[in-house]
Amino acid sequence: MFGDLRRALALLELQPTRVAVAVAAGVATLGSALALAAVSAWLITRAWQMPPVLDLTVAVVAVRALGISRGVFRYLERLSTHDTALRGMTSARTRLYERLASGNRAAAVTLRRGDLMARAGSDVDVLGDVVVRAVVPICVSVIMMVAAVALLAFISTGAAAILFVALLIAGVLAPVLAARAAALAETEGANARAEFAEIAVRALDHGPELRVAGRLDETVEAARSANRESVHARDRAAIPGAFADAALPLAIGASVLGSLLVGMALYGPTGGTEGGMTPMALAVIVLVPLAAFEATSVLPSAAVALTRARVSASRIVALLDAAERPQWDDRQPPAALGREDAVSLATVESGSRVAVVGPSGVGKTTLLMQLGGLIPAPIGVIEGARFFAEDAHLFETSILENLRVARGDIDPSEAVEMLTKVGLGEWIAELPDGVDTTLVGGARAVSGGQRRRLLLARALLSEAPALLLDEPTEHLDDASGSELVRRLLDREDDLIDRARIVVLVTHQLPPDTQADLVIDLAVSPPEKSRKNPLRSPISGRTLTSTRERRWSEVDEL
């Protein structure tokens, strides 16, 4: 587990200089508090002796300076620590995205959407928390614990020994108990939280469809059940967490009381000679531990952060390992099928329009993902193909920037032209800022039909030589959807460049399309397909033989 954490933390690319600056600021903060306690103890006891005022001047100024410097150094420590963490999180996400983009694409597409969002989002945030809540605080605490024990050892070895034991309880036992509590909460609740995220995303993205299908209440209840299980896991973890919270005040009380008893046993009128202890030394050994425990107070939360980070790190590393695996495992990768070669199930040429139809669950989306090389398949891939999913993400930014996801050099006029072609011209014209209008809430800012048209415009603006479109007209009315499908499958239409291959998945295909090829995945195996052979509307060529050759591969989807 710690090996996974080390690998995941390497994604942060932490710069030692920045970490050292944060640790130095933290040491200066707690050092000011420790010195303030010692100087204050001396000042209180010395003032009790009513010396000349000038004898106290330096101590008074030092108390004021240390009080001010503590706040200043705390601010600098927070600033440097968060700067280091945020830079590291940016680096981690960048490297994670690059690895996913360049590696085995099945690593991302085979995960549930909520799970993928959790790994790239909250899990990376947890790694950033390690810097703020664990790495820097632990380094600072160790340094200050050693300094506090060393300071008391110059005055009384007995008081230093008591402080050392108490610091071990507060700095080791309490974090161990806190880590145990966090481990229970994380290991038992992680699956429930991931399931809750997946169900919640499904309910938010497909609420209207679920309501029409009569499954919205069932989905909401499943989300509630997963959330309750997560809460129960936290409740089971409360017991060791309570002992961890109690360990710190008990250790502080024991240390102060023990130091007081040691001081009283050694106190004498000899002013510290022959083993005696002066009043000022007694005050120091009693008050200094109070400041020393400030360094250990953050260690339980540091242990919790490390425990959570271990769980998150294992999930991130699993994703990275999946991305680094060969695309085709131990098999030879199928030969890339050029635009003038075959498209898995049937032969197409440059500029061909292919429609794939069939009911839900028959494997249409899986087929597109295999043709695009997103998941391993024995049927081959289309060279240069780009898969555009029906649930692709709309970002909370401008419409223009959402289109630039496909191609970064799209200008406003080009964007408006394409949006007009897909039927959003009037809507764009009514917006106050046109294509610069921000989609507040992402997909929630538009209707289901507008979202599909935006995603279609994004796909058409890409430079991919072959487009794999998954249900591009879902949520559109029958007339508009049918018209758009006809245009997408017509070589002569100016909606898509004639040289590009289009493979379009749809539930219902209009009867008068000009598709070069129609693949019906609902057709029975070869015995039935002979009675209903597939035909190309252009060539009239019977595709039964191709169907027979490839049916066993389609049946595996």
Cβ atoms of 353 and 495 closer than 8 Å: no
| Lowest-pLDDT choice from 28-42, 213-227, 452-466, 533-547 | 533-547
What would the two tokens of residue 551 be?
């049916």
Domains 2-324 and 336-393+451-555 share a fold: no
Neighbours of 269 (CB within 10 A): 7
Is the per-residue pLDDT at 428 higher than 90? Answer: yes
CA dist 416 and 493 (Å) reads 18
pLDDT score for 445:
87
SS3 call for 89: helix
Residue 44 one-letter amino acid: I
Domains of the chain, residue spans: 2-324, 336-393+451-555
Average pLDDT over residues 220-239: 80
Angular region, 50: left φ>0, alpha ψ -120 to 50, beta rest = left
Q: In the chain, what are the helix, strand and coil shares in percent, each to the nearest 5?
A: 65, 5, 25
Average pLDDT over residues 278-298: 80
What would the two tokens of residue 355 be?
């429609």
Comparing C-alpha atoms, which of 405, 422, 516 is closest to residue 463? 405
> Which residues does 245 contact at the CB level (< 8 Å), separation at least 6?
174, 300
Average pLDDT over residues 389-412: 89
- What SS3 string covers 216-228? HHHHHHHHHHHHH
pLDDT score for 350:
80
Is the per-residue pLDDT at 110 higher than 70? Answer: no
How far is residue 424 CA from its own chain's centroid? 33
pLDDT digits (tens, 9 = 90+) for 461-501: 998 888 999 888 887 888 888 899 999 999 888 888 888 88
pLDDT tier, 129 (very low <50, low <70, confident <90, very high otherwise) = confident
pLDDT score for 419:
93
pLDDT score for 551:
32
Task: Give me the residues paired with residue 343 across strands.
Answer: 346
Half-sphere exposure of 61 (CA within 13 A, CB side): 6
Q: CA quadruple 495, 500, 506, 508: dihedral positive or negative?
A: positive
pLDDT score for 546:
32
| Lowest-pLDDT choice from 103-117, 196-210, 444-458, 504-518 | 103-117
CA dist 178 and 244 (Å) reads 5
Q: Buried (b) or exposed (e) across 411-443, using 16+ Cβ within 10 A?
A: eeeebbebbebbbbeebbeeeeebbebebeeeb
218 burial via Cβ count (<10 Å: 0-12, 13-18, 19+)? exposed
What would the two tokens of residue 450 be?
């507008």
What would the two tokens of residue 264 be?
């009283």
CA dist 38 and 129 (Å) reads 33
What would the two tokens of residue 341 be?
């070669």
Ordered alpha helix ranges (H), 174-215:
174-205, 207-212
Is the per-residue pLDDT at 107 higher than 70? Answer: no
pLDDT tier, 199 (very low <50, low <70, confident <90, very high otherwise) = confident
DSSP character at residue 542:
B
pLDDT digits (tens, 9 = 90+) for 17-70: 999 999 999 999 988 888 888 888 888 888 877 888 777 888 888 888 988 998
How far is residue 478 CA from its own chain's centroid? 39
CA dist 452 and 439 (Å) reads 14
pLDDT score for 156:
83
Instruction: Report which listed range, 194-203, 411-420, 487-496, is most confident.
Output: 411-420
Ordered alpha helix ranges (H), 237-268:
238-266
How far is residue 532 CA from its own chain's centroid? 49
Is the per-residue pLDDT at 190 higher than 50? Answer: yes
Comparing C-alpha atoms, which of 450, 471, 320, 321 is closest to residue 387? 471
Comparing C-alpha atoms, which of 295, 306, 297 is closest to residue 23? 295
Span 2-324: which CATH code?
Answer: 1.20.1560.10
Looking at domain 336-393+451-555, its CATH class is alpha beta
Cβ atoms of 221 and 137 closer than 8 Å: no
pLDDT score for 83:
92
Comparing C-alpha atoms, which of 318, 321, 286, 401 is closest to residue 123? 318
User: Cα-flanking dihedrals φ and ψ of residue 369, to 5°?
Assistant: -65, -35
| Lowest-pLDDT choice from 85-89, 149-153, 231-235 | 231-235
| Lowest-pLDDT choice from 21-25, 75-79, 183-187 | 183-187
The larger pLDDT score, comparing residue 1 to residue 451, is at: 451
Cβ atoms of 109 and 392 closer than 8 Å: no
CA dist 26 and 291 (Å) reads 14
What would the two tokens of residue 99 be?
């690895």
What would the two tokens of residue 431 be?
């917006």
What would the two tokens of residue 292 be?
């020393």
pLDDT digits (tens, 9 = 90+) for 252-278: 888 888 888 887 777 654 444 445 567
**What mean pLDDT is reported for the chain?**
78
Q: DSSP string spanning 97-122? A: HHHHHHS-THHHHTS-HHHHHHHHTH
Cβ atoms of 113 and 391 closer than 8 Å: yes
Give the long-range contacts of residues 319-323, CB within 8 A, separation 24 or more.
Answer: 319/96, 319/100, 319/107, 319/108, 319/111, 319/119, 320/7, 320/96, 320/99, 322/104, 322/106, 322/107, 323/99, 323/100, 323/103, 323/104, 323/107, 323/108
pLDDT tier, 112 (very low <50, low <70, confident <90, very high otherwise) = low
pLDDT tier, 548 (very low <50, low <70, confident <90, very high otherwise) = very low
Is the per-residue pLDDT at 398 higher than 90? Answer: yes
CA dist 168 and 147 (Å) reads 14
pLDDT digits (tens, 9 = 90+) for 337-352: 433 333 444 546 788 8
What would the two tokens of residue 480 be?
């508009």
Is the per-residue pLDDT at 543 higher than 50? Answer: no
CA dist 133 and 308 (Å) reads 11
Average pLDDT over residues 136-150: 89
What would the two tokens of residue 371 be?
């043709």
